[in-house]
A = this chain, B = another copy of it.
Amino acid sequence: MRRPANYNTKQREAILDYIISLDGAHVTAGQIVKHFSNMPIPIGRTTIYRHLDKLMETGKLRRYTTDGVSGVCYQYIGDEVGCYTHFHLKCEDCGELIHMECNMLGRLEGHILKEHSFQINALKTVLYGQCSACSEKE
């Protein structure tokens, strides 16, 4: 039974504050590491990576792969309720994150669990593609 306590440490708070201050912008782990290495109270690589993982697992952070960017990008999505029950669509062109609530997804989860014996984790899953605004631009 893994039940991390999530102690309230200075580092944890500082990292979360920083990501929130970016106001939804994407940031790589490397950028965060660099940011905190120049601070009066520096924070180590390891700590940053571990907190990013934890914040992902609690749904506060979303993680993306971006073509041409070395390393993975993170984005703060906050405490919005319901992120456990819906999926996310990410436009690869404009970067827009769309929260998609739809019972089609419940059926998808059910189908994959029943027919493919696989339990989807909606918190970590992001569907990539192109939004309507960007497809119209073409």
What is the interface of chain A, defined by CB distance below 8 A to chain B?
A: 63-68, 89, 91-92, 98, 100, 102, 104, 108, 111-112, 115-121, 124-132, 135
Contact = CB atoms under 8 A, between A and B. Distances in A.
B121 A128 contact: yes
A126 B91 CA distance: 15
Contacts of A111: 102, 104
Copies per complex?
A: 2
Given A65-B67, A119-B130, A119-B135, 20 more contacts: A63-B67, A64-B67, A65-B68, A67-B126, A67-B128, A89-B112, A91-B118, A92-B121, A100-B118, A102-B115, A108-B108, A112-B127, A112-B129, A118-B127, A118-B129, A120-B127, A124-B128, A125-B126, A125-B127, A125-B128
Contacts of A108: 104, 108
B112 A131 contact: no
Q: Is the interface of A mostly helix, strand, loop or mixed?
A: mixed
Nearest to A115: B102
Contacts of A100: 112, 116, 118
A98 B119 CA distance: 12
